[in-house]
Structure 1
Amino acid sequence: MSSSEKSIRLSAGDAELTISPDNGCRISGLRIGGTELLRQGERYGCFPMVPWCGRIEHGRFRNGEVVQQMPLNSPPHAIHGTGRDTAWRTARVGESEAAFTYDLVEPWPYSGRVTQTFRLTRDSLSLALGVETYDTSFPAQAGWHPWFLRSLDGSDVAVDFTAAWQEERGDDHLPTGRRIPPLPGPWDDCFGMPDGVDVTLTWPGRLELKVASRAEWVVIYDEQDEAVCVEPQSGPPNGLNSMPHLVTPVDPLEITTDWTWRRL
């Protein structure tokens, strides 16, 4: 383990993970045998989506009878939560494990704490997010938004998965509420996997990486030349309105994902 003011580095075998707590506690780098797997840049890597995932319609959601308004950071909607724009506190750091927290503050209207943990091995990375409250209950979501490089040393990635359904996407990029048979890409779409997220990324001749989670939803985004995104999340886009998970003092929101890889 090594750290600087702005980054923390974990290692296991020839796997090396770099975390930037001050930049939304995102993974800024994942190198396997010296090869970087994530798109580089302040907005990229892999960031946590919390306390919501994807878009909230017009930035508004309801908690009981109270309507809350989030800033429209992707007009006309609010997108991807506030955690990625927050400096997180380091709770603990070891050679291959680390944990970070931040307290929910404005513009999110409810108090609570978010915890993110990382555990690296020679051939896997395990991530966990938890959202808890000590007083007022509120709806929340959590997940991750990794930007995997489309090409590794000239080998372009293939994305393979089997979904039970696709959330039909309207012209406003929000789910319409209809579930349809999965369509061919390119995608900026949410898919349902009731047995858990299971997506395989293969760079032929280079690497195979599996993204798995007990969560039932994953967004696949492959409309950019530089990267593809495989985003496990606890509910669909606009889920604070369509499928809210209520965080209470006795029932936190918890989600995990495991990435495993092997050389080809």
Structure 2
Amino acid sequence: MSTQLSAGGAEVTVDQENGCRISSLRIDGTELLRQGPRYGAFPMVPWCGRVANGRFRDGATVHQMPLNHPPHALHGFARDAPWRPAGAGATEAAFAYDLTDPWPYPGRVTQVVALAEDSLTLTMGVETYGDSFPAQVGWHPWFLRNLEAGGPDAEVSFDPAWQEERGDDHIPTGNRIDPKPRPWDDCFGMPNGVDVTLTWPGALELRVTSRAEWVVIYDEEPEAVCVEPQSGPPNGLNTLPRLVTPLDPLEVSTTWTWRRLG
């Protein structure tokens, strides 16, 4: 089962049975997302990127998550689970997912998908049913490198304040360094909010913005470029925990705005 939204020439498909991912984003008939059950644009929750060796500490307690990307735990596990529909119209739909084993804390995640003629806004929230716990949210879109066969490669433009130095184990070392040239599988700090522009020359420009202050750029595969706004850096459950409390849920949004070129 999937949910279809449309506004003007924009069409979105949400596959709530497969991690509530955006499985298709078409602008005037042109697909922007890499196709396949692992791709599209999926939510990362209750953590983003890698958790070192799958372990995180909450106070004096150490929790072990499944090593779904050995030797680490990667991207949470809501992307692999079915979500419940929580209401839909022609241009907006809401979905919910209950945190459960192996996550050690009861809670609920919601995602609202809102489509306009020239933008898509995704809003994700995490709330606790009991004790406070650390969590992260983010999105992992696989934007096509080429919008058509033989077309120009997507160009990435952004101005981060720093890059998180990445160790040989792909975990940030804690050092902030000057941004390096691509290729990237790296996290960047944008303290004024994520603002990254993808341009397919002569075809389309798409701007990814968010009040979140962290973005991972992944462009090491020939098929796609990933621009991942998220509420904290990889391994952030350990290094920069953001507590979800009964009085202070976690909520983050990202908006993708596009315009045709030429």
TM over 0.5: same fold?
A: yes
Q: Does 1:87 align with 2:85?
A: no
1:50 match = 45
Distance 2:223 2:45 in 1: 25
Distance 1:169 1:137 in 2: 29
Q: Does 1:164 align with 2:161?
A: yes
Distance 1:109 1:192 in 2: 29
Q: Which deviations, in whole Å up to 9, do the C-alpha atoms of 1:117-136 show, x marking residues without a partner?
A: 01100000000000000211
Give the alignment's TM-score, normalised by structure 1.
0.98
Distance 1:102 1:215 in 2: 22
**AA in 2 matched with 1:39:** R
Distance 2:110 2:250 in 1: 10
1:10 match = 5
Distance 1:46 1:252 in 2: 23
Task: Tell whether the 8 Å contact from 1:88 to 1:101 is kept in structure 2 after alignment.
Answer: yes
Task: Tell whether the 8 Å contact from 1:166 to 1:183 is kept in structure 2 after alignment.
Answer: yes
Q: Does 1:208 align with 2:205?
A: yes
Q: Secondary structure at the match of 2:237?
A: helix
1:246 match = 243
Distance 1:228 1:87 in 2: 26
- CA deviation after TM superposition for structure 1 residue 155, in Å: 2.2
Distance 1:129 1:63 in 2: 22
- CA deviation after TM superposition for structure 1 residue 156, in Å: 1.2
Task: Tell whether the 8 Å contact from 1:54 to 1:80 is kept in structure 2 after alignment.
Answer: yes
2:136 match = 141
Structure 1 residue runs of 5 or longer lacking an equivalent are 1-5
Task: Tell whether the 8 Å contact from 1:72 to 1:78 is kept in structure 2 after alignment.
Answer: yes
Q: Which deviations, in whole Å up to 9, do the C-alpha atoms of 1:124-174 show, x marking residues without a partner?
A: 000000000021110000000000000012121000000000000000000
Q: Secondary structure at the match of 1:92?
A: strand
1:175 match = 172
Structure 2 residue runs of 5 or longer lacking an equivalent are none
Q: Does 1:20 align with 2:15?
A: yes
List structure 1 runs of 4+ shifted beyond 4 angstroms. Answer: none
- CA deviation after TM superposition for structure 1 residue 82, in Å: 1.1
Q: Name the count of aligned residue pairs.
A: 259
Distance 2:169 2:152 in 1: 34
Q: Secondary structure at the match of 2:197?
A: strand
Distance 1:107 1:72 in 2: 11
Q: Does 1:186 align with 2:183?
A: yes
Task: Tell whether the 8 Å contact from 1:25 to 1:47 is kept in structure 2 after alignment.
Answer: yes
